[in-house]
Structure 1
Amino acid sequence: MENILLGAGDAFSLTAIAAVFGGILLGYIVGVVPGLSRPAALAVAVPLTYYMTPIAAIAFLVGVTKASAAGGATGAIMLNTPGEPSSAATCYDGYPLARAGKAAKALKIALYSSVFGDMVSTLVLIALAMPLASFALKMGPVEMTSVMIFALTFIAALSGTSLTKGLVSGIFGILLATVGLDPESATPRLTFGMIELFDGIPLVSATVGMLAFTEMLVQAEAYIRARKTGEEIQKMELLPDDNGVSLEEVREVAPTAVRSTLVGIAAGIIPGLGPTIGAFLAYVVAKKFAKPGDRYGEGDIKGVAATEAADNAVLPASFIPLFAIGLPGSVSAAILVAAFMMHGVVPGPLVFEQHPRLMYGIYVSMLVASFCMLIVGRVGLTFFARIGSVPAVIIIPMVIVFCTLGSFLEHHAMFSVYAMVVLGVVGYFMQRYGYSVVTFLIGFVIGPLFELSLRQSIIVTNHRLEAILHHPIAIGFLVMSVAAAIFFIKPAGKLAQAQQTGV
């Protein structure tokens, strides 16, 4: 109890609270600007904490990470340009809501869902860090392979009205994920003699190109067509009478937010999944629980709540294996290891014995960051909601500049910018001919993890298929994969047929 009180006192100190607010503000800026990802922001922010106290340093970095997740929804809703790859699924319903004049409503739902998912996940971290970390410790290559197979089964569910085109998009994403050096033999694959491709296609370039740059090409085409034909250019207008969130709407989205938060927590605990997969899985789960009258993909507030609650629930949950066994569950958690080490703290089982005051202070700071995120997001919401009123001739060049900057900052090389432009053009034609860009990104994100785990599993099992019988967790995920295929794919086909017939 003494350590808890001392840790809480440290967390509520003026220095720690100022650090949290500074991190929240920086995180929102990073989240709103397309291409500036959480890992990139953390990598830049870690050196800034060198002269801070340990509690202030970790509080600052936690604030950056949490707010960037929440801020990523702003671009997704207002411009169909997610600031974070994990906010891509928010485009499905957030952007149609903004086009219908309900931008403020969508932003409020995104903010409240983000804070809810983040706070619940933080409480789970505090209560169940040690017990749940023991489960994550059992996740070997065979188990991770089965988890990837389980995740890949959801690609078909995200394929829209055409299952075939959705699968083609997903396989195309996996194919591009294999570009680079072979993880086992270090042999170049699909590099065409280009040294820049030895490390593979940059993730930020692929995400920004396929989503943000593609959308700017589409909007530029629409703008030019409207100017040539003399049509009135459609603008997003805020409708004050329909931008509040009523109590009835809160009750409507509450079950979706709870389910999605649980999905996000699971994606955070299992190392390697991350917020992008968690957000997309939560969206698919939400669609499967859709009721008559729900309009997922056309502007449904429950779709926004699902992705944002899961996205923000991943980070605190990813700290569970980090704090308990020193194993980061996400890229952001991995970068935080550097901050811990810089301040003389080694994450792992002994951290609770060697630094109990610091750990309880971090827990309280994470809760404080959740409240700060709500305040900053709510105060700035009106400003964010008016982004859509800016003329296209200003928005399009600005977003392209940010896309270029975000792509360049990933590796500080022009090749990343060229890759972003090429993939943006590819995404433009994919979108024009009905191929799912989002499904492509799912395959692209999962591809490297799946290949590495599969290769390691083959080595661990010595090429014996029956060896999987000694891995009950893997068997469980494979059984769930079969069940998910039956549960998702067949209904998806029926839904596509119903949409095509107008039923």
Structure 2
Amino acid sequence: MDIGLLKDGFISILEPLTLLLVIMGLVIGVFLGALPGIGSSMAIVLALPFTYFLDIVPAIALLVTIYVGSTYGGSITAILFNTPGTPESVATTFDGYPLAQKGEVGKALGLAISSSAFGGIFAVLVMLFLSPWLSQVALKMHSSEYFALAFLGMAVISSIGSANTIKAIISGLIGIFISTIGVDPITATDRFTFNSIELMNGISYIPIMIGAFALGEVFSQISGGQKENDDYDEGNEATSKFKLGAFKIKEFFLYKWVALKSSIIGTVIGILPGTGGSIASFVSYGIAMRTSKNQEKFGKGSEEGLVAPESSNNAAAGGAMIPTLILGIPGSPTTAVILAALVLQGLQPGPQLLSDQPILLYSVFFAMLIASILTFIVGRLGIRVFELLLKLPYSIIATFIIILSLLGAFAVDNNILNVWIMLIFGVIGYLMKLYDFSVASLILGIVLGPLMEESFRRHLLLNNGNYMSFFHSPITVIILIIALMAIVLPQLLNKNKNKN
């Protein structure tokens, strides 16, 4: 590593215009990320036209800091209203929202800010020192490893979002089935489209996510009767009086090892092309729960359950930049938009970028580093704005959530069908909560389904249908063993507890 080039990259970010755009990008990202249905990809697309008139470094700095800000911003509404602003923040709802219901909003948001900043800073440091080597490792990952990784992610469905393991698994399988709707990725034939052109591209999981979580929660609150409404008002009163000063940074360091472990997982998964923060947050949450001494607290307001996904999804955002910049392969849907922006600026991402444009590369890394550090400040400002919403009656909050849900679902691709899908899954999400099925497992199945199916079928095609070929890769075997242990060990432990 050339220290001189690092210095030049850092100085280029400290240019007044570039630094201003870094701050603006972070603020814009936080607020757009907090709006359901917008997400990091759409936030960057909205900002893309403004980069046409900027130089390369300021333009890319603006886009990558919007990416960082939106990844954190999704956690705000996830914690306050059980409404994930972005797909990456779905796992944040599992324990973030229960913490808020206990009146510990300040602690929940403080942990989210700290974890997001920690994960982002960790990933940037990894990028600075290990990006060329990690890119080569990512290239050695093949279909069998991707399938094993997706299977590991699905292994956690037996524990998240539902006390009933069988119902959680059923929910996950339904999610996988929904992910198969559309054109077959291998044979290009229609599946479950019923001759509908609108369904040929499949069903986006964003309107499903918005409906099942946001509308499902609204329906649950409204139908809960006067008693639950009174409970909510009491919790609302408690949360409206919270002070961020009540959260001390030393509280975060109680969970430093959870944050470090989750950041490593997030960075590694982010580096793998085609994965992203959604998968990273689910996997990290599952592993954090499996290795915790207080597993019974997960899903009920566990601080570890909040730190893990927030550290992981922000680390994945940084990790995804490595294959994007070094290999020219998008690490996530959002980085695919950033890749397009680089091309529009006349650059060709790939291995030659490190040798031809090292200052640009390091400038991007430092922009993300500064943005992660500033998350502490900007995140608090964003919280203050959304805190005002907590002082409103729930009838107004519910109306606000419904309007945002409708706009968010339609904004995915300006299709009214997504609005109907969101409304339908709002009812389904409410019924799933009512009968103790796992909404989280449903979303996880939809997210991981395409990766699992494509990698599984592609591997079999390349190996003449030989199922035993999955065990030829040591990495695949290790991941599959870990996944099976994650499923079997808790069941054995529960049996032993029942015997005792």
Q: What's the TM-score bracket when you normalise by the shorter of the two chains?
A: over 0.9
Could you report, residue by residue, the CA deviation over 1:232-277 in whole angstroms, capped at 9, with x for unpaired residues? Answer: 9444223558962346523321111111111111211122221111
Q: Following TM superposition, by how much is the alpha carbon of 1:293 offset from its aligned partner in structure 2, in angstroms?
A: 8.7
State the AA in 2 paired with 1:375.
I
Tell me, which stretches of 5 or more residues in structure 1 are unaligned?
A: none
Task: Measure the CA separation in 1 of the matches of 2:479 and 2:150.
Answer: 12
Match of 1:295 among 294, 297, 316: 297
Cα distance, 1:320–1:241 mapped onto 2, change above 3 Å: closer
The answer on whether the counterparts of 1:39 and 1:335 sit within 8 Å (CA) in structure 2 is: yes
Could you report, residue by residue, the CA deviation over 1:131-155 in whole angstroms, capped at 9, with x for unpaired residues? Answer: 1111111122233223222322222
Cα distance, 1:411–1:250 mapped onto 2, change above 3 Å: closer
Q: Which residue of 2 aligns with 1:81?
A: 83
**2:261 counterpart SS class:** helix
State the AA in 2 paired with 1:113.
S
Match of 1:14 among 13, 16, 21: 16
Q: Which residue of 2 aligns with 1:279?
A: 281
Task: Measure the CA separation in 2 of the matches of 1:308 and 1:260.
Answer: 9
Task: Measure the CA separation in 2 of the matches of 1:119 and 1:55.
Answer: 20
| 2:145 pairs with 1:132 | no
State the AA in 2 paired with 1:226.
Q
Q: Which residue of 1 aligns with 2:386?
A: 384
Task: Measure the CA separation in 1 of the matches of 2:104 and 2:230.
Answer: 27
Q: Which residue of 1 aligns with 2:483?
A: 484
Q: Following TM superposition, by how much is the alpha carbon of 1:74 offset from its aligned partner in structure 2, in angstroms?
A: 0.7
Listed as ranges, the matches of 1:165-244 within 5 Å are 165-222=167-224, 225-226=225-226, 233-236=233-236, 237-238=238-239, 240=242, 244=246
Greater CA drift, 411-420 or 457-466: 457-466
Match of 1:314 among 313, 316, 319: 316
Q: Which residue of 1 aligns with 2:406?
A: 404
The answer on whether the counterparts of 1:129 and 1:323 sit within 8 Å (CA) in structure 2 is: no
Cα distance, 1:177–1:493 mapped onto 2, change above 3 Å: farther
Task: Measure the CA separation in 1 of the matches of 2:172 and 2:97.
Answer: 23
Task: Measure the CA separation in 1 of the matches of 2:80 and 2:269.
Answer: 27
**1:195 counterpart SS class:** coil
State the AA in 2 paired with 1:221.
S
The answer on whether the counterparts of 1:268 and 1:318 sit within 8 Å (CA) in structure 2 is: yes
State the AA in 1 paired with 2:115.
S
State the AA in 2 paired with 1:346.
Q
The answer on whether the counterparts of 2:83 and 2:214 sit within 8 Å (CA) in structure 1 is: yes
State the AA in 2 paired with 1:16.
T
Task: Measure the CA separation in 2 of the matches of 1:31 and 1:488.
Answer: 33
Q: Following TM superposition, by how much is the alpha carbon of 1:226 offset from its aligned partner in structure 2, in angstroms?
A: 1.6
State the AA in 2 paired with 1:432.
L
Q: Which residue of 2 aligns with 1:270?
A: 272
Task: Measure the CA separation in 2 of the matches of 1:423 and 1:261.
Answer: 32
Give me the TM-score of the superposition, normalised by structure 1: 0.93
Listed as ranges, the matches of 1:344-359 within 5 Å are 344-359=346-361
Q: Following TM superposition, by how much is the alpha carbon of 1:3 offset from its aligned partner in structure 2, in angstroms?
A: 3.1
Cα distance, 1:395–1:198 mapped onto 2, change above 3 Å: same
Q: Following TM superposition, by how much is the alpha carbon of 1:163 offset from its aligned partner in structure 2, in angstroms?
A: 1.2
Q: Following TM superposition, by how much is the alpha carbon of 1:418 offset from its aligned partner in structure 2, in angstroms?
A: 0.6
Could you report, residue by residue, the CA deviation over 1:346-383 in whole angstroms, capped at 9, with x for unpaired residues? Answer: 11110012112211222221212122222211233333
Cα distance, 1:230–1:152 mapped onto 2, change above 3 Å: closer
Identity of matched residues, %: 31
| 2:107 pairs with 1:105 | yes
Q: Following TM superposition, by how much is the alpha carbon of 1:466 offset from its aligned partner in structure 2, in angstroms?
A: 4.4
State the AA in 2 paired with 1:110.
A
State the AA in 2 paired with 1:128.
L
**1:196 counterpart SS class:** coil
The answer on whether the counterparts of 1:159 and 1:165 sit within 8 Å (CA) in structure 2 is: no
Give me the TM-score of the superposition, normalised by structure 2: 0.93
**1:403 counterpart SS class:** helix
Could you report, residue by residue, the CA deviation over 1:181-230 in whole angstroms, capped at 9, with x for unpaired residues? Answer: 122232221112222111111121111111112111112223xx229999
Match of 1:440 among 439, 442, 446: 442
Please report the RMSD computed on the Cα atoms of aligned residues, expressed in angstroms.
2.4
Q: Following TM superposition, by how much is the alpha carbon of 1:47 offset from its aligned partner in structure 2, in angstroms?
A: 2.1
Cα distance, 1:395–1:231 mapped onto 2, change above 3 Å: closer
Task: Measure the CA separation in 2 of the matches of 1:403 and 1:437.
Answer: 17
Task: Measure the CA separation in 2 of the matches of 1:342 and 1:375.
Answer: 32
**1:478 counterpart SS class:** helix
Q: Following TM superposition, by how much is the alpha carbon of 1:179 offset from its aligned partner in structure 2, in angstroms?
A: 0.7
Task: Measure the CA separation in 2 of the matches of 1:73 and 1:367.
Answer: 19
Cα distance, 1:495–1:276 mapped onto 2, change above 3 Å: farther
Cα distance, 1:381–1:242 mapped onto 2, change above 3 Å: closer
Q: Following TM superposition, by how much is the alpha carbon of 1:101 offset from its aligned partner in structure 2, in angstroms?
A: 1.2
**1:346 counterpart SS class:** coil
Match of 1:93 among 92, 95, 102: 95
Greater CA drift, 115-124 or 139-148: 139-148
Task: Measure the CA separation in 1 of the matches of 2:276 and 2:38.
Answer: 17
Task: Measure the CA separation in 1 of the matches of 2:380 and 2:413.
Answer: 34
Task: Measure the CA separation in 1 of the matches of 2:27 and 2:223.
Answer: 34
Q: Following TM superposition, by how much is the alpha carbon of 1:2 offset from its aligned partner in structure 2, in angstroms?
A: 3.9
**1:89 counterpart SS class:** coil
Q: Which residue of 1 aligns with 2:69?
A: 67
Q: Following TM superposition, by how much is the alpha carbon of 1:116 offset from its aligned partner in structure 2, in angstroms?
A: 0.5
Cα distance, 1:247–1:313 mapped onto 2, change above 3 Å: closer
The answer on whether the counterparts of 1:159 and 1:167 sit within 8 Å (CA) in structure 2 is: no
The answer on whether the counterparts of 1:160 and 1:496 sit within 8 Å (CA) in structure 2 is: no
Task: Measure the CA separation in 1 of the matches of 2:13 and 2:355.
Answer: 19
Q: Following TM superposition, by how much is the alpha carbon of 1:487 offset from its aligned partner in structure 2, in angstroms?
A: 3.7
Q: Following TM superposition, by how much is the alpha carbon of 1:467 offset from its aligned partner in structure 2, in angstroms?
A: 4.0
Could you report, residue by residue, the CA deviation over 1:375-414 in whole angstroms, capped at 9, with x for unpaired residues? Answer: 2112333333343222111111111111111111111110
Cα distance, 1:362–1:264 mapped onto 2, change above 3 Å: same
Q: Which residue of 2 aligns with 1:142?
A: 144
State the AA in 2 paired with 1:476.
I
Greater CA drift, 107-116 or 37-46: 37-46
**1:199 counterpart SS class:** coil
The answer on whether the counterparts of 2:180 and 2:191 sit within 8 Å (CA) in structure 1 is: yes
Task: Measure the CA separation in 1 of the matches of 2:276 and 2:369.
Answer: 21
